[in-house]
Amino acid sequence: MRRRPIDLSREHIAFYYRPSLAKPPVKKRHSRTWPKGIVSIVAVSIVAAALAAVMLFAPTRAAVSKLFSSLFAVRQIVVETAGDLDTSSIFDGCSNSLGRSLFGVSARDVADVFDPAPSVKSVAFKRLFPSTLVVNVQERKPRFVTKLDGRWWGLSDDGVILSSPSGRGAVSLPSVQGLRFDANRPGGRVKSVFFTDLVALCDSLSALAPEHFGADSRIEVVDRIEVQIWPSAGEPALVFSLKEPKRQIQKYLLATPEIARHKGKFRYVDLRFRGQIVLRKNSG
């Protein structure tokens, strides 16, 4: 094996150092923008003071207010609603806002128009400049029917008595009895503090067992710990408490086949007790 001869004519450099040259000193330039900032602040302050002085002058203030009122006066009212609400009556109630400034219309002004109407659940409005007022009305619908003083009324999910429902909606609502109201007329409200829990129980029963809760269902409220629900005519009453309704409904669904085999023999199915179901037989 032949070795390659080493070329001694080249100089091998293992380290190379080049000193850096000193940079010329840089003179710092002083900022001269601060006088401009002070001048701007002083100018803005003078303009603001002048405007404040002008606005404190009563005739000027009245003229400016009149100018804004004419530029942003309400010339159009748009009513947005869903359901069976009469939009013409709503428009008539809001018509007193026509000609007023959009800035002068408040939420309280709009809400006061609908306070006496039990069928109105909530009212919201928005301004569309330069001259349009949009009123959004949410209808309050009956969730149940109830009988007071020998007459049937609708009852909303927030506990307000409504006019008796008519048409197809009347035949698809369960009835409820045993509640107390502050007035037995449209606009009266449920006094029972657990009404929201009762609505939650009915919603859960309708969702988990729709075949056991519908238009033919009848509800009798005794108190918070005893609510009797007859799913339909001829079926035993289901006794619930308003605590943990879903657990009680699941327990009832598990026992449904056994109850069906003994149809007509039980009067009540008590689901209130944890870990057991109490079946009360028909007397006689």
**Distances, alpha carbon 191 to alpha carbons 3, 142, 180, 239, in Å:** 111, 17, 5, 22
| 192 and 110 part of one domain | no
More confident residue, 224 or 284: 224
The reply to whether 240 and 115 lie within a common domain is: no
> pLDDT tier at 185 (50, 70, 90 boundaries)?
very high
Question: Both tokens of residue 259?
Answer: 């109850």
**Of residues 135 and 50, which shows the higher confidence score?**
135
Say whether both 158 and 109 belong to one domain.
no
Same domain, yes or no: 190 and 119: no
Q: Is residue 169 part of a domain?
A: yes
Identify the domain boundary among 139, 154, 176.
Answer: 139
The CATH number of the domain where 157 resides is what? 3.40.50.11690
Which of 139, 159, 190 terminates a domain? The answer is 139
Check which CATH number belongs to the domain holding 90 and give it: 3.10.20.310
Share of the chain above pLDDT 90, in %: 24
Tell me: do 107 and 226 sit in the same domain.
no
The last residue of a domain, from among 110, 139, 168:
139
Cα separation, 87 vs 80, in Å, equals 8
User: Exposed e or buried b for every residue in 136-154, given b needs 16+ CB within 10 A?
Assistant: ebeebbbbbbbebeeeebb
Model pLDDT, residue 279: 84
Question: Mean pLDDT, to the nearest integer, of 31-54?
Answer: 72
Phi, psi of 134, deg, nearest 5: -105, 125
Q: What is the pLDDT of residue 77?
A: 83
Burial 225-236 (b: 16+ CB within 10 A, else e): eebbbbbeeebb
Q: Could you tell me the pLDDT band of residue 3, with boundaries at 50, 70 and 90? A: low
196 plus 264 within the same structural domain: yes
170 with 188, same domain?
yes
Whether residue 36 is contained in a domain is answered as: no
Q: The tokens of 174 are what?
A: 């369960």
Question: Does residue 34 lie in a domain region?
Answer: no
Closest CA to 162 of 203, 121, 206: 121
Q: Judge if 76 and 194 occupy the same domain.
A: no
Nearest Cα to 269, choosing from 205, 207, 173, 216? 205
Domain ranges, residue 78 = 71-139
User: How many domains would you assign to the chain?
Assistant: 2
More confident residue, 23 or 151: 151
Average pLDDT of the residues of the chain = 79
Residue 184: inside a domain: yes
Per residue in 141-175, pLDDT tens?
899 999 999 999 999 999 999 987 765 445 578 99
Asked if residue 225 and residue 104 are part of one domain, the reply reads no
- The residue with greater pLDDT, 158 or 49, is 158
Based on the fold, state whether residues 84 and 213 are members of the same structural domain: no
Strand duo 266-270 + 237-240: pairing: parallel
Residue linked to tokens 């057991």: 276
Per-residue confidence band for 210, with pLDDT thresholds at 50, 70 and 90: confident
- What per-residue confidence (pLDDT) applies to 153? 93
Residue 199 and residue 103 share a domain: no
Does residue 117 sit in the same domain as residue 211?
no
pTM of the model: 0.68
C-alpha to C-alpha distances, 186 to 84, 86, 148, nearest whole angstrom: 17, 17, 11
Least confident of 44-58, 138-152, 238-252: 44-58
**pLDDT at site 32:** 56
Q: What percent of the chain has pLDDT over 70?
A: 76
- Judged against a pLDDT cut of 80, whether residue 190 lies above it is answered with yes
Residue 62 lies in a domain: no
- Higher-confidence residue: 151 or 8? 151
